[in-house]
Amino acid sequence: MRRTILSALVAIVLCFLPVTAADVYRYDGRLAQASYNMLDENNIYTGVYVIGRDTLDQTRPGKPEVGSTVSIYIVVFDDTNAQTLLEASGQKDLSPEEFKIKANLGGATLKTFLDVYDAVSQRSVTAEIDIEFVATGKAIRATNHAHSHPPEGFFNVRSVGVGRVAVATGSIILGGENLTPEPSDFADMYEWSGFQVANP
């Protein structure tokens, strides 16, 4: 389990590295994510994945770009008839009040409304999210350092990430139905910080 979390931390950190070189690039952020998987008595499977994220990106000497977003993916599948009943996804920007995550990753709250597009019915539906994350594991720290020198060009990147396993409870309501009546199957929280210096 520890190795899996450390690998995920490195992957989370690396996925936020910029794809274009900049003299000095800084990136910081925090996220909370959860997944739910349920099969009811009618053999209907419901899967939900939701993530709230705060990010700060800065290419010096420019000003930092700060943002907060939520993304969600929902699928409902009839196992008996092998038919997808709903497949919806959506994303939106959040206010500071809609997504809050504690500095020590002790917990987080995500409460908002957003429109999701259902590919089956080809229409948009409003989803209501009101969930709370509570850390259940110890904080695990991972670091990353990579560099190169001429003739390839100077490149130096350093980053650190911290993650904690959690449980998410609450409701995600779509069409008047709570899709998450039980606690999450998996949830965790991460925070990361790093910089990149590059001279082609």
Question: pLDDT by residue (tens digit) across 81-140?
Answer: 999 999 999 999 999 999 999 988 999 999 999 999 999 999 999 999 999 999 998 999
CA distance 161 to 139: 10
pLDDT value at residue 52: 97
pLDDT value at residue 7: 45
Calculate the dihedral angle through the C-alpha atoms of 37, 39, 40, 45, rounding to the nearest 10 degrees: 90
Bigger pLDDT: 25 vs 71: 71
pLDDT value at residue 150: 63
Which amino acid appears at position 2 of this protein?
R
Question: pLDDT by residue (tens digit) across 28-47?
Answer: 899 999 999 999 999 999 99
Mean pLDDT of the chain, nearest integer: 86
Arithmetic mean of pLDDT, 58-65: 78
SS3 25: strand
pLDDT value at residue 151: 66
SS3 43: coil
Instruction: For residue 21, give the DSSP letter.
Output: -
Name the token pair of 52.
């709230």
Which amino acid appears at position 113 of this protein?
F
